[in-house]
Amino acid sequence: MRTAVALALLTALGAGTARASVWDEHALTPDRLPLDPTRSVVVWVHGYDPVPADFDPLAEELRRRGHQVLRFRYDWRQRMERSADELVAALEALRAEYRLPRLRVIAHSQGGLVARRAMTVGRARTLADDGPTDLVTIASQFPGYASANGTYLMPRVNWFGVQPAHRDLRSWSPFVRRPGRLGDDVRHFKVETLERGKTRLEGGRQVDDCSAPRQAQPRVDADPRVAQRVALDRGHVGVLRDDAGRVPAELLRLLDAWLPARTAGLAARLR
């Protein structure tokens, strides 16, 4: 009996002093545990004012295809440079702890701007030289958001819905006008959406699904790290899931081609 109690106490003490895993230290949430470093790992970066359930169908499809899915959480209201720094820290720690040979990041809307910035050269903290990385941005308004432009004459923070992030999302902000160059080990796959006139079912009624009508940005699109650029005739959220909660087949076809679950030889094929 005493031996059993001693063993239980030692186990508890050991658990209390063990090094926390990367998701305890950073805003990463794995959909499944344990994480297998020999299999593909995909990190999801949400957009502005996210609804987590919008990504759930795609997460399930990715798992079905053999990927391991982690979700990165950040405060979408804060300055986007800060969000990019937080993403760098989280992915550096993830790669170091599990020795991942390749990182895969799928980012939606504002998350695409955050994720791309985290992978550009010349920043104090960057993933640009941290090893092979695949970046898929979906419906990301790289030219800035008209809704953010309209906040220019309003108070700087938190009145009438104005948030610090709006300063970076304005079309004339340095964040938008000088997006930076991606690192040489990054491959950017850019999914644009043709959103005008699109609606989606939300709370039992149809609502507008056009949040990013313009997604072309010459400095982003001319980057030699852009491996492919595709436009889908889908709404802003509809590109992730339709009104029945299904992932559009055309998006799945793209992801199957760009992010195969078997990663052997992938770096060589993409170069």
DSSP bridge pairs for 264: none
How many other C-beta atoms lie within 10 A of the C-beta of residue 155? 9
**What is the predicted pLDDT for the residue at 203?**
84
Tally: H helices and E strands in the chain: 11, 9
**What is the predicted pLDDT for the residue at 263?**
55
Picking from 106, 109, 70, 111, the residue whose alpha carbon sits closest to that of residue 90 is 70
User: Amino acid letter at 270?
Assistant: L
CB hemisphere CA count around 69 (13 angstroms)? 18
**What is the predicted pLDDT for the residue at 5?**
33
Give CA–CA dist 44/41, Å, rounded: 10
**What is the predicted pLDDT for the residue at 11?**
31
Sheet strand arrangement including 133-138: 28-30, 68-72, 41-45, 103-108, 133-138, 186-193, 226-232
**What is the predicted pLDDT for the residue at 4?**
40
Domain ranges of the chain: 18-270
Give CA–CA dist 51/44, Å, rounded: 13
10-residue averages of pLDDT along the chain (271 residues) = 36 40 86 91 96 96 97 95 97 93 96 98 94 97 86 53 85 95 98 96 92 94 98 97 97 97 51 39
Superfamily of chain region 18-270 = Alpha/Beta hydrolase fold, catalytic domain (3.40.50.1820)
> Does the predicted model carry a pTM greater than 0.95?
no
**What is the predicted pLDDT for the residue at 22?**
82
**What is the predicted pLDDT for the residue at 153?**
53
**What is the predicted pLDDT for the residue at 146?**
81
Question: What does DSSP assign to residue 30?
Answer: E
